Amino acid sequence: MQIEPTTFRTWLRILARIPNAVLWLLRFPDLGEQNLRETATAWAGEETASRIIFTDVAPKDAHISRAKVLDLFLDTPECNAHTTATDVLWSGTPLLTYPRYEYKMCSRMASSILTSALPETEAGRRAREDLIAASDEDYENKAIRLCLSQQYETGGEGRAQGRLSELRKLLFEERWRSKLFDTKRWVRDLEEAYEQVWRQWVNGEEGDVWL
């Protein structure tokens, strides 16, 4: 289960601290959705619980397009987003993650994906500091700080300003140069690995193959 009690309680505290914010979740089976709503009401009150929105699964193109609407994607520390993290970063939306368990790959995955999406520059280093938390408390504080920094102009086009907008611009502009989305390099490395595996099999050798 990706949404476990600690994470859900943290999300509710974040939601309660950010006026007009909504928590947008994928639609659960009816019973699961009902349980989350009831738990949110019991833990955080009706007003905060009313700002949780559930939505249906969408085709890939719609899924990526609607990710652009988000200000911040909150990852699940127990078991991270994998393909979804990549989709969200391709859309340019910042992703906040916390590698809660060093010994569990599923808890470190999103920080690795995020690192690959960011440039190896001072701006990239600062972005990693903003988006990779060191504890549950740090995760909560980073989310609140980032979201409260986001301000929208009144009237006109309602353009956004703040740290999240800076991170979005960095991710969107870097995606064509990042390691994460360098498909040609990925294919080249994979083909090289296949050749190594074949050579080792022909020679009767054993061992791992490193990309």
The pLDDT-based confidence of 206 (bands split at 50, 70, 90) is confident
Amino acid at 117: A
Per the confidence metrics, is the pTM higher than 0.75? yes
Distance CA 122, CA 132 (A): 15
| 123-127, 153-157, 197-201, range with the lowest pLDDT | 153-157
So what's the pLDDT on residue 40? 96
For residue range 24-70, what is the model confidence (pLDDT) as tens digits?
998 877 788 889 999 999 999 999 999 999 998 888 888 888 888 89
Cβ count near 37 (within 10 Å): 15
Q: Are strands 52-55 and 73-74 parallel, antiparallel or unpaired?
A: unpaired
- So what's the pLDDT on residue 158? 65
* Cβ neighbours of 83 (radius 10 Å): 9
Mean pLDDT lowest among 87-96, 137-146, 202-211: 202-211
Listed in sequence order, the DSSP H helices in 45-176 are 46-49, 60-67, 83-90, 105-117, 122-131, 136-149, 163-174
Mean pLDDT, rounded, of the chain = 91
Q: What is the pLDDT of residue 143?
A: 97
Predicted local distance difference test score (pLDDT) of residue 129: 97
pLDDT in tens, 154-165: 766 667 788 999
Report the SS3 class of residue 211: coil
Q: For residues 61 and 148, which has the higher predicted lDDT (pLDDT)? A: 148
User: What is the spatial distance between Cα 163 and Cα 145, in angstroms, rounded to a whole number?
Assistant: 9
- Tally Cβ neighbours within 10 Å of residue 79: 20
